[in-house]
Amino acid sequence: MTISRRRLDSPRALGDCIRAVRVAAGLPQDEAAELCGVSVPFLNRLERGKPSVQLDSVLKVCQGLGIGLDLVPPEPLPEDAPTSLKRGRKAGTAR
């Protein structure tokens, strides 16, 4: 089974990707959790897309399953872009 590259735009999308890789590898959740050094309940919550999970544990799971994460910074912003975007915030977002 080939799993294609995909954009992760939500916790659910991340969970779906992790589950697809685990299933394609033929690993039940308990074996995958042990391999990755996380608990079964954590892996279950992650795969279900729970929005509040620990980043270090997410990275353990991705590393354990051989999932690479690439962060793609935005292209240089045009000179007329809102100042708030140039500082890395969405327009209208308070600090």
Domain count, the chain: 1
Q: Is residue 27 part of a domain?
A: yes
Q: Is residue 28 part of a domain?
A: yes
Q: Is residue 22 part of a domain?
A: yes
Question: Per-residue pLDDT tens for 18-68?
Answer: 999 999 999 999 999 999 999 999 999 999 999 888 999 999 999 999 999
Q: Which residues make Cβ contacts (< 8 Å) with residue 77, sequence separation at least 6?
A: 85, 86
Task: Identify the domain containing residue 35 by its residue range.
Answer: 11-64
- Is the dihedral angle over the CA atoms 2, 17, 54, 71 positive or is it negative? positive
Q: Is residue 21 part of a domain?
A: yes
Higher pLDDT, 65 or 73: 65
**CATH number of the domain to which 41 belongs:** 1.10.260.40
Q: Is residue 31 part of a domain?
A: yes
Q: Is residue 87 part of a domain?
A: no
Q: Is residue 76 part of a domain?
A: no
Helix axes 11-24, 40-47, angle to 10 degrees: 120
Q: Is residue 51 part of a domain?
A: yes
Judged against a pLDDT cut of 60, whether residue 90 lies above it is answered with no
